[in-house]
Structure 1
Amino acid sequence: MSGLREVLLVGTGGFAGAVARYLTGGFVTRRLGLDTVLATVTANMLGCLAIGLAVAWLEAREEPAVAWRLVLVVGFLGSYTTFSTFGYETVELLREGRAGLALANALGQLLVGLAAVVAGRAVGNALLAG
């Protein structure tokens, strides 16, 4: 498979995933009248469910489905929510018997991610205060 074709497959899935994420958020906040935090939780949980289903389906196929993996897992779900990839990779580490690394991955990404948000806001505020 050529590099350009792979990029186009990921981009197509990514476009659809971004639109689906936007629509999910709108449905939860506007149609159901719930908080935006619950929209994020909804997208994250749906993404985790979807990546589990997609990987099970892809692994059950007799021949490798590289194109489907690129469109569904990398593109669509990567755009819909990267939390699904985080969840999948952490579960795979547990399945491989690498519980310490799974725990470090979960805690590390959470703590470093929160610290990065704090740092980004501080830098942004400092630049804007100019």
Structure 2
Amino acid sequence: MDRLDELLTPNPKPSTVGTLVYILFGPILWALQFTLIYGGHTLACSQGATPAAGEWLVYAASIVPAVIVLVFLVVQTPFARILGLTRAMEDRRAYDRIAWAVALLSEFAIVWTGATALVVAACTQGR
């Protein structure tokens, strides 16, 4: 394919940032959840929050990202469209598979990290 053919039938080029966010969607949500659980929980407990409030913070910070990643795993196309990835792209199937696998691993990580609320007593280290 020469330069003239590329100009006449262009393939859409996704943005680099959009592609990275699409592929790393699950780990980004896991990082936010991880930060909220450990940073937010510690901050809430150090400011005098009750242990129940600390536990509910962990529950909320775990359930919301887990549901969002689960929706991403079931229907990826709307997320891809928002981030500028189209079906006409050459490597779209590869991006979908990588994003799905990474999101699945992130779903397990979110559930695992959120399970600490069931095992560890809230606000015990801040007392």
**Relative to total residues, which structure has the larger helix share, 1 or 2?**
1
Higher relative contact order (CA 8 A, sep 6+): 2
TM-score (norm 1): 0.42
TM-score (norm 2): 0.42
